[in-house]
């Protein structure tokens, strides 16, 4: 019984892995944008 994460990642379709990567990237860019705008608003209202 081999339940290693690498084996599981190889079983998932490429499009699903790319979708997760894109979703995480979009979420991180959004959060960084919100933080940047908050700092801009805080420093120069």
Give, rounded to a whole angstrom, the gap between the first and last alpha carbons of the chain: 59
pLDDT in tens, 14-39: 999 999 999 999 999 999 999 999 99
- Residue 1 scores a pLDDT above 60: no
Residues 17, 9 contacting (CB under 8 angstroms): yes
Could you tell me where the DSSP H helices lie in the chain? Answer: 5-11, 14-43
Q: What is the pLDDT of residue 11?
A: 83
Q: Quick one: tokens of 42?
A: 């805080």
């Amino acid at each position: 019984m081999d339940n290693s994460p690498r084996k599981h990642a190889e079983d998932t379709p490429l499009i699903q892995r790319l979708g997760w990567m894109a979703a995480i990237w979009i979420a991180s860019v959004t959060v960084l944008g919100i933080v940047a705008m908050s700092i801009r608003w805080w420093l120069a209202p």
